[in-house]
Amino acid sequence: MNFLDSVYNSILKSHKKKFSVGFIAQIMGLGKGFDERALEGAMNELAKQGKIKRLNNHEFMLYNEQRLIKCTLLGTSKDYAFARPFTGEKDNDIFISQANLNDACHGDIVMVEIGVSGRGRKYKQNLPLVAKGKREGRVVEILERGYKVVVGIISIDERGVATVLPDDRRFADSVFVSGEDVNGATNGTKVVLDILDYPSNIKMARGRVREILGDPGDARVTTLSIIRSFNLFEEFPDDVVEEANKVSIPVSQDDQKGRKDYRNRLIITIDGEDARDFDDAISLEKLGENYALGVYIADVSHYVKEGSKLDEEAFKRGTSVYFPDHVLPMLPTALSNGICSLNPNEERFTLAVEMLISPDAKILDYEIHKGIMISKHRMTYTKVTKILNGDSELRKQYADIVPMLELMSELARKLIKRRDAAGQLDFDIPEPQILLNDDGTVKDIRRKPRDISDRIIEQFMVITNEVIAKHFSNLKVPFVYRVHETPIAEKVQKFRKFAGSLGLKFIARGNQTTPKDFQTLLVLSKGQDYSTALSKIMLRSMQKARYDTMNLGHFGLALENYCHFTSPIRRYPDLTIHRIISCVLEGKMTQKKFRYFEEFVSESAERSSTMERQAEEAERTVDDQKMTEFMSNKIGEVYDGIISGVTERGFYVELENTVEGYVSTERLPKGRYEFNEDQYSLTGVGETYKIGDKIKIRVVETDVVLRHIDFELANYHRDLDEEEKNNFNKNKNNRDERDFDRKNSKRKNRRRF
């Protein structure tokens, strides 16, 4: 049990509603001269987590946990919101009426008191927690503001009064900017605002122009607007860059001591065409009938020391964020593309895992070493796939590694077979590949290929992560694991009904659902029109993968042990465990170090999970923006698609190129439509529209501000009257607001696991 847990347990044992730092010190048996700052810091952290509330400089209060839940507030463009508990399950959202928002805004971290109230009526505290299956509540405290900055278009009238129309209207309809805070912005430009005052029932939000982005019609400004709305930045602080330049020095002779020398081994990297940060390299040879696989990961922890400016910035960022035209790296380029990157023909420090694998792809033995290596070739997925498909020119050019690549393909297929036998879930969900012109506009969108070269790296990294997680779990040292827990029973039941509507029987083989139960349906659906739809609904029925200090296993990969070890350049949890691994390998895991890591892994896991979710949403939002821009030039064109989602007011259609648009009931033949939530279908006017069905559509409208693409049936056109237009626009503003799971299920699927 770590110090934070000890403090919280002591608070619970005290049975006091109000208490001071000194009182808790007595309960914990801390003697004279105890570290008051450490104890108060722990209590402040518990307050931040929403477990206790700070009343003043001296006293705290314990929340009534049965009625109070820490949530993220999800606003709508209407006068109400939803609060999503930190468990992250959308089905548990709590309705918050306007009267019960208490000045909280979209994105805020809040404490919500659960109860039931009529929508818009005064909150009644003593009513039961649940009525008619719907939870409602009120915001009792704002723990942390979600929006620190707002992006929007500034309007300055003839009197010089300035307001900003936010891109995200869920925050506010407009933000006031006083004359001295305009900072040179001109009418109609896109700007970034620091929020000075938050909106309430009696005043509008107020902000100060921090940055002028430029013309809202510029494609690059559009992308930059989204990046800024997530409070993300390309540039690093000067002191971080200075520190990176100081440590980015050639490998020295002294630093090589104690490291295994891999410089003469045939080692290569395989990455995407545009990759610049190479944090994993591989080698493979046959030893008798067995395979000797080497996986070499950049030793970033050698350069990014605990508590340094570099470390603080990396912790804050949590992960690199990838967009179609550029990357926001976790580390400055002097490290991410320089001394840490396993660039070809350059000496690099590494943490290496050497594995002996049997002909049936089982681990026979392994060793973990700190080492030094040289990558002999920088290979791409495209080149490796062509070589394995028999490209004579490339096979001649890379003759020295062709036999090894063929051996890698052979082992990867055996590893896939073993993982399939264990029940791993290989979702058939295409990811978009967005190709841009030099000016940032979209040239084309297509399905991202997933060839054997991708599978080689996937399988080699998975088995390496498994080995590392199992080894350090057995050592019982503090660690950060990548966990994916068993699906919740209610969601499994909902998925069972959907599978049944497709004629598939979902049968659990035991008391608890297993990966094999799901995998059976994925195999049965291969080649069917509904295959992708089934994969998406299945993915939504599962819990989200996350980081944790407990080794809870990984359901999707059908593994008891798993972690993220192989990408320390772009993921902070990998960097965290690299430090622990190095500490153990060097024999420096003292009691003091153990206690330090025990505290820190909890912070690292929580922060990394949070920043990963933010990165996914930012990447998805930019992808949606680019897709909307692309389809804006396709108005009137007809496409074949498959229904990918169904709501009460219409359905989503995904095209072959992964672009998704919406067919509203206002664009269907007039009549009454009935939504079947279990079967994901919409029935009316003699037709049923069901998820997984093929359909032909026409592109009819796009909205680049809201990032929406609207379709209509290719064989039916309906001119909307004034009332229908109003309904359509009203519903459009709220489309997708709480359906992040559906939108996110088709992107970055490798990252989720």
Q: Tell me the three state secondary structure of residue 140.
A: strand
Q: What is the pLDDT of residue 121?
A: 43
Q: What is the pLDDT of residue 212?
A: 96
For residue 452, name the pLDDT band (cuts at 50, 70, 90): very high
**How many percent of the chain have pLDDT more than 70?**
89
What amino acid occupies position 652? Answer: Y
Pairwise CA distance, residues 619 & 621, whole Å: 5
Q: Are 682 and 638 in contact (CB under 8 A)?
A: no
> CATH 2.40.50.140 occupies which residues in the chain?
68-144, 632-750
Q: Tell me the three state secondary structure of residue 580.
A: helix
In 232-348, where does DSSP find H-type helix?
Answer: 238-247, 309-317, 333
Pairwise CA distance, residues 189 & 191, whole Å: 6
Q: Are 523 and 503 in contact (CB under 8 A)?
A: no
CATH of 149-216, one of 2.40.50.700, 1.10.260.40, 3.40.50.720, 3.30.1490.20: 2.40.50.700
Pairwise CA distance, residues 150 & 162, whole Å: 15
Q: What is the pLDDT of residue 56?
A: 64
> Does residue 746 surpass a pLDDT of 50?
no
Q: What is the token pair recorded at 547?
A: 């980081």
Q: Tell me the three state secondary structure of residue 156.
A: strand
- Reply yes or no on domain 3-62 having CATH 1.10.10.10: yes
For residue 23, name the pLDDT band (cuts at 50, 70, 90): confident
Pairwise CA distance, residues 120 & 129, whole Å: 18
What amino acid occupies position 97? Answer: S
- For 304-337, the pLDDT digits (tens) are 999 999 999 999 999 999 999 889 999 999 999 9
Cβ-based burial of 628 (10 A; exposed 0-12, middle 13-18, buried ≥19): buried
Pairwise CA distance, residues 520 & 504, whole Å: 10
Pairwise CA distance, residues 728 & 120, whole Å: 24
In 508-548, where does DSSP find H-type helix?
Answer: 515-525, 531-540
Highest mean pLDDT, choosing among 62-66, 371-375, 524-528: 371-375
Q: What is the token pair recorded at 172?
A: 């506010």
Tokens 């192989």 — which residue?
Answer: 566
Angle between helices 452-475 and 572-585 (to 10 degrees): 50
Q: What is the token pair recorded at 294?
A: 């080497």
Judged by average pLDDT, the poorest of 464-473, 484-493, 507-516, 522-531 is 507-516
Non-local CB neighbours of 575 within 8 Å, separated by 6+ positions = 300, 301, 304, 314, 568
Three-state secondary structure of 620-688: HHHHHHHHHHHHCCCCCCEEEEEEEEEECCEEEEEECCCCEEEEEHHHCCCCCCEEECCCCEEEECCEE
- For 644-702, the pLDDT digits (tens) are 989 999 999 999 999 999 999 999 999 999 999 888 899 999 999 999 899 999 999 99
> CATH 2.40.50.700 occupies which residues in the chain?
149-216
For residue 171, name the pLDDT band (cuts at 50, 70, 90): confident
> CATH 1.10.10.10 occupies which residues in the chain?
3-62
- For 577-625, the pLDDT digits (tens) are 999 999 999 999 999 999 999 989 999 999 999 899 999 999 999 999 9
What architecture does CATH give domain 632-750? Answer: Beta Barrel (2.40)
Highest mean pLDDT, choosing among 55-59, 623-627, 731-735: 623-627
> Does residue 744 surpass a pLDDT of 70?
no
If one compares 231 and 240, the residue with the highest pLDDT of the two is 240
CATH class of the domain comprising 68-144: mainly beta
Q: What is the pLDDT of residue 249?
A: 86
